[in-house]
Amino acid sequence: MADEIGVLIVDDSALMRNLIGKMIESTPGLVIAEKAMNGRFALQKIPRVNPDIIVLDLEMPEMNGIEFLKERKKQGIKIPVVILSSVARRGAEITMEALALGASDFIQKPSGAVSEDIRAVRDTLVDKLLGYGGRYRRLEGKKLLPGDYTKKPEAVHVPIATDNSAARITSALSTILPASTGPAKPPAPLRKPAKTEIIAIGISTGGPDALRQVFAQLDADLQVPIVVVQHMPPGFTNEFAKSLDRICPLEVKEAEEGDLIKPGRILIAQGNKHMEVVKKSLAAIVHLGDDPLVSGHRPSADVLFASVAKAYGNRALGVIMTGMGRDGAANLGAIYQEGGITIGQDEASAVVYGMPRVAYELGHVMEQVSLDKMASRICSLAKTQR
């Protein structure tokens, strides 16, 4: 159908091309534009099939994924690319190189049709194809098959969890009541905002690109620690943090158990580990946990936001950015209610206006900010004396 998102699959494995193709064919709104066995053939097919998004393997004969991305950049091709990456350490390093060369995002490559995680891989891939492909079609002025590409849930009111226990948050999020249409009435703050002592960011689909842009633009003299939940599989967050550290004026590292929360440091949650902030007698530290998924994720932005609200109260700045679903939307309100400041990415600049939209509709976002102004707004708010 002309209004569907066309996907070009580039992989030298016939099995993988077939497997990815079946995932696409089974998803309303997606269609296979073409398949190619390496980067050279993909470049030849792009002008003819005009895809909306490319799924790209990295290890291929003749022209591999990195070489393709370099040529794509040279030719000025703007079609978004989602990388198929292996989980090995070398695979993570090459994946981060691919992101630096302009790839939008990545998924962990499935191991085959009998893989136990095949459904999770499918769901992740579909989310990214709908998000990036749908946004590209809109930017190009193409028609889009009617539907909600953010998978927006029904409007609900979710009780705010102020306990920093992931299990308690899971219970709270399971209790949902009907809400009125439109943005809900914001929670009543318990106190006025004070000077910001921590910044917490929750982000998902569209996050790698967005964080690269925001972190590169942060002020070098920003003396407020930043903690981040970016939904990402285990094995990749360490290399992701290293790639951000190379372009950010502040220190960026993957969070480890007991890491100090300190000025000038950005900590990225580990894949498959909840991250909470805990205040001790002498300092605030990071705690990593294996509690059940919250809002469908581990790490979860809801867990992080709840712990930040409890530890820092009205001295916190919560930021919710592009992402599918609703993670972080509920407990951004915990920061709001404690008297902290909350901002959300706006619809126009978000790859997927899902998480920030739900937060806004719950009344938990004080201000919506575009991606190109996000870094300056975060720095401005963090440096304001209140």
Rounded CA-CA distance 368/360 in Å is: 8
Active site annotation includes 231: yes
C-alpha closest to that of 279 among 315, 253, 251: 315
Active site annotation includes 204: yes
* Backbone phi and psi for residue 297, each to the nearest 5 degrees, phi listed first: -140, 150
Sign, CA torsion 215/219/220/223: negative
CA distance readout (Å), 32 to 9, 123, 144, 210, 333: 8, 17, 15, 27, 41
Domains identified in the chain and CATH numbers: 5-139 (3.40.50.2300), 156-383 (3.40.50.180)
* Residue appearing with tokens 């932005």: 301
Residues paired with 319 in a beta bridge:
201, 343
* Annotated catalytic residue within 104, 127, 231, 243: 231
pTM for this entry? 0.88
* Annotated catalytic residue within 85, 104, 204, 349: 204
Q: Tell me how long the chain is.
A: 386
* Annotated catalytic residue within 52, 57, 327, 346: 327
User: Which residue pairs, CB below 8 angstroms and at least 24 apart, start in 113-117?
Assistant: 113/15, 113/19
Answer whether 53's CB lies under 8 Å from 19's CB: no
The one-digit pLDDT tens for each residue of the chain (386 residues) are: 478 999 999 999 999 999 999 999 999 999 999 999 999 999 999 999 999 999 999 999 999 999 999 999 999 999 999 998 875 557 789 999 999 999 999 998 876 544 556 777 888 899 999 999 999 999 998 877 666 555 533 333 334 444 555 554 444 444 333 344 567 787 788 889 899 999 999 999 999 999 999 999 999 999 999 999 999 988 899 999 999 999 999 999 999 999 999 999 999 999 999 999 999 988 999 999 999 999 889 999 999 999 999 999 999 999 999 999 999 999 999 999 999 999 999 999 999 999 999 999 999 999 999 999 999 999 999 999 87
Active site annotation includes 372: no
